[in-house]
Chains A and B, each alone.
Chain A
Amino acid sequence: MQRLLDIENLRTTFDIHVGKVQAVRGVNLHVDEGETVGIVGESGCGKSVSMLSVLHLLPDYAKISADKMVFDGTDLTTLTPKMFRKISGDQIGMIFQDPMTSLNPLFTVGDQLIEPLRIHKGISKAEAREIVLEKLRLVEIPDPESRMKQYPHELSGGMRQRIMIAMAIMCNPRLIIADEPTTALDVTIQAQILDLLQSLQKKLGTAVIMITHDLGVIAGMCSRVLVMYGGVVVEEGTVREIFYEPKHPYTWGLLRSIPQKSGEKRKLIPIPGSPPDLIAPPPGCPFVARCPYAMNICNSTLPEMTQLSDTHCARCRLLDEGAPRVVWEGNRE
Chain B
Amino acid sequence: MSTIVEARGLKMYFPVGRTLGGKPKKLLKAVDDVSFSIAKGETFGLVGESGCGKTTIGRCLVRLYEPTDGQIFFDGQDIAHLSEKPLAPYRRRMQMIFQDPYASLNPRMTVASIIAEPLRYAGASREYQNERVRELVDLVGLKPDHLQRYPHEFSGGQRQRVGIARALACNPEFIVCDEPISALDVSIQAQVINTLESLQEKLGLSYLFVSHDLSMVRHISHNVGVMYLGCMVERAPVQELYSNMLHPYTQALMSAVPIPDPDMAAASQRIHLSGDVPTPIDPPSGCRFRARCPYATEQCAQERPELREVAPDHFVACHRIK
A interface residue numbers (CB < 8 A to B): 42-43, 156, 158-159, 186-192, 194-195, 213-220, 239-240, 243-244, 253-255, 257-259, 261, 263, 265, 267-272, 274, 332
Cα-based distance from A271 to B259 in the complex (angstroms): 21
Closest Cβ of chain A to B189, distance in Å, is 7
B215 close to A156 (CB less than 8 A): no
Fill in one digit per residue for B203-234: 1 if any A CB lies within 8 Å of its CB, else 0.
00000000010111011000000000000000
A268 close to B193 (CB less than 8 A): yes
Closest Cβ of chain B to A263, distance in Å, is 5
Cα-based distance from A159 to B219 in the complex (angstroms): 31
A-B contact pairs, 23 of them (CB 8 A): A187-B49, A187-B214, A187-B256, A187-B257, A188-B273, A191-B270, A191-B273, A215-B186, A216-B260, A217-B258, A219-B260, A220-B262, A243-B261, A254-B186, A258-B260, A259-B216, A261-B260, A261-B261, A263-B239, A268-B194, A270-B191, A271-B190, A332-B261
B264 within 8 A of A: yes
A268 partner residues in chain B, CB cutoff 8 A: 190, 193-194, 219
Cα-based distance from A230 to B33 in the complex (angstroms): 49
Fill in one digit per residue for B139-176: 1 if any A CB lies within 8 Å of its CB, else 0.
00000000000000001011000000000000000000
Q: Closest B residue to A240 by CB, please name it.
A: B262
B155 close to A270 (CB less than 8 A): no
Cα-based distance from A91 to B242 in the complex (angstroms): 44
* With contact pairs A243-B261, A261-B259 given, residues A274 and B157 touching in the complex (Cβ less than 8 Å): yes
B155 partner residues in chain A, CB cutoff 8 A: 274
Among B50, B185, B191, B270, the residue within 8 A (CB) of A272 is B191
* With contact pairs A191-B256, A259-B218, A259-B219 given, residues A271 and B261 touching in the complex (Cβ less than 8 Å): no
B266 partner residues in chain A, CB cutoff 8 A: 220
B193 partner residues in chain A, CB cutoff 8 A: 268, 270
Closest Cβ of chain A to B270, distance in Å, is 6
Residue from the set A253, A257, A265, A271 with the largest chain B CB neighbour count within 10 Å:
A257
A156 partner residues in chain B, CB cutoff 8 A: 276
Cα-based distance from A243 to B260 in the complex (angstroms): 8
* With contact pairs A187-B253, A191-B270, A263-B242 given, residues A257 and B189 touching in the complex (Cβ less than 8 Å): yes
A255 partner residues in chain B, CB cutoff 8 A: 260
B245 within 8 A of A: no
* With contact pairs A220-B265, A270-B190 given, residues A42 and B185 touching in the complex (Cβ less than 8 Å): yes
Residue from the set B197, B216, B252, B259 with the largest chain A CB neighbour count within 10 Å:
B259
Q: Contacts A43-B185, A243-B260 given; 7 further ones with Cβ under 8 A?
A: A186-B212, A191-B270, A263-B219, A268-B193, A271-B191, A272-B191, A274-B155
B257 close to A270 (CB less than 8 A): no
B187 close to A271 (CB less than 8 A): yes
Cα-based distance from A39 to B188 in the complex (angstroms): 19
B215 partner residues in chain A, CB cutoff 8 A: 258-259, 261
Q: Closest B residue to A261 by CB, please name it.
A: B259
Q: Closest B residue to A290 by CB, please name it.
A: B187
Number of B residues, CB within 8 Å of A:
43
A220 close to B258 (CB less than 8 A): yes
Cα-based distance from A254 to B276 in the complex (angstroms): 32
Q: Which 4 A-B pairs have the closest CB atoms?
A: A216-B258, A270-B190, A191-B256, A257-B190
Q: Closest B residue to A215 by CB, please name it.
A: B260
Closest Cβ of chain A to B212, distance in Å, is 7
Cα-based distance from A254 to B155 in the complex (angstroms): 18
Cα-based distance from A149 to B71 in the complex (angstroms): 46
Q: Closest B residue to A40 by CB, please name it.
A: B186
B273 close to A274 (CB less than 8 A): no
Cα-based distance from A216 to B212 in the complex (angstroms): 15
Q: Closest B residue to A256 by CB, please name it.
A: B190
B26 within 8 A of A: no
B272 within 8 A of A: yes
A188 close to B253 (CB less than 8 A): yes
Among B190, B197, B239, B264, the residue within 8 A (CB) of A261 is B264
A158 partner residues in chain B, CB cutoff 8 A: 276
Among B187, B194, B197, the residue within 8 A (CB) of A254 is B187
Cα-based distance from A41 to B178 in the complex (angstroms): 25
Closest Cβ of chain A to B181, distance in Å, is 11
A215 partner residues in chain B, CB cutoff 8 A: 186, 260
Beta-carbon contacts under 8 Å, B245-280 to A: 252-253, 255-266, 270, 272-273, 276-277
B186 close to A189 (CB less than 8 A): no
B273 partner residues in chain A, CB cutoff 8 A: 188, 191-192
Cα-based distance from A270 to B193 in the complex (angstroms): 9
Residue from the set B218, B239, B252, B262 with the largest chain A CB neighbour count within 10 Å:
B262
Among B49, B158, B218, B262, the residue within 8 A (CB) of A188 is B49
A213 close to B258 (CB less than 8 A): no
B253 close to A257 (CB less than 8 A): no
Cα-based distance from A187 to B216 in the complex (angstroms): 14
Closest Cβ of chain B to A325, distance in Å, is 24
A257 partner residues in chain B, CB cutoff 8 A: 186-187, 189-190
B187 partner residues in chain A, CB cutoff 8 A: 42, 253-254, 257, 270-271
Closest Cβ of chain A to B162, distance in Å, is 14
Cα-based distance from A175 to B263 in the complex (angstroms): 26
* With contact pairs A217-B258, A243-B262, A261-B259 given, residues A270 and B188 touching in the complex (Cβ less than 8 Å): yes
Among B49, B158, B194, the residue within 8 A (CB) of A186 is B49
A220 close to B191 (CB less than 8 A): no
